[in-house]
Structure 1
Amino acid sequence: MPLHAMRSKPTIGLVIDPWDFPFNGTVVSTRRFVAALSNQFNFKILKTGNVPDQTANNEIHFPKLSIPGANRIIDQMQAPLARPTRRLLQRVVADCDLIHVQYPFLLAHQAIRVARRLGKPVISSFHVQPENIQRNLRLNQAFVTRSLYRLFVSQFYQPSDQVIAPSEFAKKLLIQHGVSRPIDVLSNGITANFFAGSRRQTRSDQFQILSVGRLAQEKQQPLLLKAVAQSPYRAKIHVTLAGTGPTSAHLKRLAANLGVSATIGRVTDEQLKDLYETADVFVQCSRVELEGMSALEAMAAGCPTLLNRTETSALSELIQDPVGAFTDEAPNMLTQKLDALLSNPGARQFLADQNRAFALTRRHEASAAQLANLYRRVLGDKLKSDAGHAS
């Protein structure tokens, strides 16, 4: 394509298999960026679909991939993987100016190969940490971690023109595992609606504890339930675990066995916003987070947060004060930190103010503008390269 031939509204092919499952953090983030940038770019969504080979509303359906032995877990995670069909993929990629990989599995692998063959630039975002996969498959050995990183790096990130990491932690992780392609840190960002509400109390005789995220091994929600069970405030605490996933039934049984009052399951966007605004403390126990979208949303809503500080998670970057941090390596630390916050409204307000000030630095508008500029830069570099080769 000659230098003068860039379309006024370039077409971006987004590879994101579970597009139809918007409680997935990657899907939530991608949908927000599409909504924010649809006036500047055309988007084609390459996804797993119920009607293979059907194309409608710029959504391209690919058949669902079946993996014997893993299908049940994949279904519980509500993250169906797509099986690429060669002719359809060739046709779709040929009609795109740039391919942006959000979900690094088989469809993405083939999309990158086709894009390289057709001379289309590729951007890959780092949304899936190998540790996520391992914990759900109960394959926590170090050699499996190294093997998965080698696979992801060699098949997705190194073949890309540009890589996006959602945090400095994520960028360092990619570099540590051998990525030498350009890496930009681009936060998923916090949309304006999470800043718009006001804090309020629902019941003066009860503490509301909130945790948001996939109900899965790596999120470690049992830590929170056990911490509440040991708290002297247990009778006054209600826990909400907002999310879906394979450990849902186990968590409900555990809460009942521990005598912890809990609501566990999916919530609507409006309910989620309400939960952030009424929670006395937000708790995130994950060992694996590349940014921590739900923690950021809670911070934007002015909610005090207790975050797990580990070497395998970006949550450490979000901690504003030691009062809002714990480590899962100290068995009783979460209970102690939670009790300290519940007994001290002033400490909760201090933490809430610190959180909200930090969250203002992660506004979605800034992230969307950064992504738009990145698209244009990569497209421009490609056109300049083509023009140089032509001359």
Structure 2
Amino acid sequence: MKILTFSTLFPNSEKPGHGIFVETRLRHLVASGKVEARVVAPVPWFPSTHPRFGNYAKQARVPREELRHGLRVAHPRYPTIPKIGMNVAPLLLAQAAKPTIARMLDEGYDFDLIDAHYFYPDGVAAAMLAKYFNKPLVITARGSDITLLPNYPLPRRMIRWAARRADAVITVCNALRDEVVALGVDAGRVTSLRNGVDLQLFRPTERAAATDTFTLLTVGHLVPVKAQELIIAALPLLPGVRLVVAGDGQNRQMLEDLARTLNLSDRVDFLGAVPQAQLRSHYGAADALVLASSREGWANVLLESMACGTPVVASRVYGTPEVVAAPEAGVLMAERTPQALADAVNALRAAYPDRAATRRYAEGFSWDDTTAGQLSLFEDILNRRQRQPSGALACRTP
């Protein structure tokens, strides 16, 4: 089976952690030996690579094509238009990707199916491409593409159009499946396939001797939806507890200012962005991971922490209760407030699980079931397509 994975959420040499969950799922699928894959991961166009342009320059430095873990990844450029960009982004993405995909086909990579990730604008663009190239389509919903973007009228209409055009929709948790069905998509066409965890990469490490200090770790981009400020604001209610923050982003200065205002600078360590391969030591050194997000589809950091033997404290949003579903996994906050977060940390400390039991819990979330589910779904789609009467060929121009 040959597939084409399409998404702007995919790592590249300049942003190796960007969309790594999409790459990880694909790598496990290809490792089954039953799938060959190529990737089209568009990046925004920008005219200069000069460092003074920061993130924009990074995007400009992304190579047109690269090889990642044996996967060929193409990065066509698409224009972004201020103010109106959200509405036209699917069309711009599709138009940018067409020549790249046409070239793949002309070179002999006649893929069987488009595997798209994130509904808007990526999934909508993929639906346009699937129609143009006459290929079956599967779209995976991953979080805010379903929990937030349908609140806007035009994206909502386009998401519903793409979902109807798709041969199947995958969601990374049951809570997202319910949201997709609520948009009017036939429940029989929506499959929940949760993310797994790399149990070889994330595993227990040797821990330092126990001390009286209880260490919390939070991992993720420092952006409003992750709400790390709730964790910092809870620290005055948690004497003897320190916080390690792994990640970077637009909220970093605000979070550092908050720690200083609350006289917590000596109890909060900001590590900046940490490569995924180095996270294991931080998970292993912590006593608990904390995730205070206002929205999450399926938070991979929760399972990564558990796989290292470290239990979690997390907000009760969307797919998170499906991840934190046993005492050995950790504790869910009653609500998203500093007091509720402190209460959850204290509850975890009062009944702290055996770290080996936390690791065993995470072992139930390997990628094997997800890979098997994808293979079954893709094969079923292709078998159904073969049984259909031959229709008109794709109207692709040379």
Indicate the SS of the match to 2:289: strand
Aligned match of 2:8 in 17, 32, 36? Answer: 17
Aligned match of 2:95 in 84, 97, 104? Answer: 84
Aligned match of 1:59 in 58, 62, 73? Answer: 73
The answer to whether the 8 A contact 1:285-1:328 is kept is no
Pick closer, same or farther for the CA change 1:111–1:214 going to 2, 3 Å. same
The answer to whether the 8 A contact 1:130-1:148 is kept is no
Counterpart code for 1:215: L
2:353 maps to what in 1?
Answer: 349
Alpha-carbon distance between aligned partners in 2 of 1:43 and 1:90, rounded to the nearest angstrom: 13
Pick closer, same or farther for the CA change 1:13–1:202 going to 2, 3 Å. farther
Counterpart code for 2:23: R
The answer to whether the 8 A contact 1:197-1:301 is kept is yes
Pick closer, same or farther for the CA change 1:70–1:378 going to 2, 3 Å. same
Q: How does 1:1-391 map to 2 (within 5 A)?
A: 10-19=1-10, 20=12, 21-24=15-18, 27-38=19-30, 39-49=33-43, 50=60, 54-55=64-65, 57=67, 58-69=72-83, 82=93, 84-85=95-96, 87-89=98-100, 91=102, 94=105, 95-106=110-121, 108-130=123-145, 145=151, 147=153, 150-151=156-157, 153-180=159-186, 182-194=189-201, 196-198=203-205, 200-201=207-208, 204-233=211-240, 237-260=241-264, 261-264=267-270, 265-310=272-317, 313-319=318-324, 320-321=326-327, 324-329=331-336, 331-342=338-349, 344=350, 347-350=351-354, 352=355, 355-386=358-389
Indicate the SS of the match to 1:324: strand
Pick closer, same or farther for the CA change 1:259–1:365 going to 2, 3 Å. farther
Deviation at 1:326, TM superposition (A): 1.2
Alpha-carbon distance between aligned partners in 1 of 2:387 and 2:280, rounded to the nearest angstrom: 45
Cα-to-partner distance string for 1:125-168 (whole Å, 9 max, x where unaligned): 0014247767xxxxxxxxx7263772353233221001111111
Deviation at 1:111, TM superposition (A): 3.1
Cα-to-partner distance string for 1:69-110 (whole Å, 9 max, x where unaligned): 599xxxxxxxxx957326515515853211011133445433
Alpha-carbon distance between aligned partners in 2 of 1:290 and 1:333, rounded to the nearest angstrom: 21
Alpha-carbon distance between aligned partners in 2 of 1:56 and 1:35, rounded to the nearest angstrom: 15
Counterpart code for 1:380: N
Cα-to-partner distance string for 1:232-289 (whole Å, 9 max, x where unaligned): 22xxx33122223321222222222223322332112232111111211111111211
The answer to whether the 8 A contact 2:78-2:96 is kept is no
Pick closer, same or farther for the CA change 1:52–1:335 going to 2, 3 Å. closer
Give RMSD over aligned pairs.
3.2
Cα-to-partner distance string for 1:165-213 (whole Å, 9 max, x where unaligned): 1111111111122121611111110112255324623662432201112
Alpha-carbon distance between aligned partners in 1 of 2:180 and 2:221, rounded to the nearest angstrom: 23
After TM superposition, the score normalised by the length of structure 1 is 0.79
The runs of 4+ residues in structure 1 deviating greater than 6 Å are 387-390
Alpha-carbon distance between aligned partners in 2 of 1:305 and 1:187, rounded to the nearest angstrom: 18
Identity of aligned residues (%): 21
Indicate the SS of the match to 2:298: coil
The answer to whether the 8 A contact 1:121-1:378 is kept is yes
Work out the number of aligned pairs and report it: 352
Counterpart code for 2:82: P
The answer to whether the 8 A contact 1:215-1:243 is kept is yes
> What residue ranges of structure 1 are gaps of 5+ in the alignment?
1-9, 72-80, 135-143
Alpha-carbon distance between aligned partners in 2 of 1:18 and 1:377, rounded to the nearest angstrom: 26
Alpha-carbon distance between aligned partners in 2 of 1:387 and 1:318, rounded to the nearest angstrom: 44
The answer to whether the 8 A contact 1:63-1:83 is kept is no
Alpha-carbon distance between aligned partners in 1 of 2:111 and 2:39, rounded to the nearest angstrom: 11
Alpha-carbon distance between aligned partners in 1 of 2:268 and 2:202, rounded to the nearest angstrom: 26
Alpha-carbon distance between aligned partners in 2 of 1:291 and 1:275, rounded to the nearest angstrom: 21
Counterpart code for 2:320: L
Pick closer, same or farther for the CA change 1:148–1:335 going to 2, 3 Å. farther
Which is further off, 272-281 or 328-337? 328-337
> What residue ranges of structure 2 are gaps of 5+ in the alignment?
44-59, 86-91, 394-398
Alpha-carbon distance between aligned partners in 1 of 2:299 and 2:66, rounded to the nearest angstrom: 33
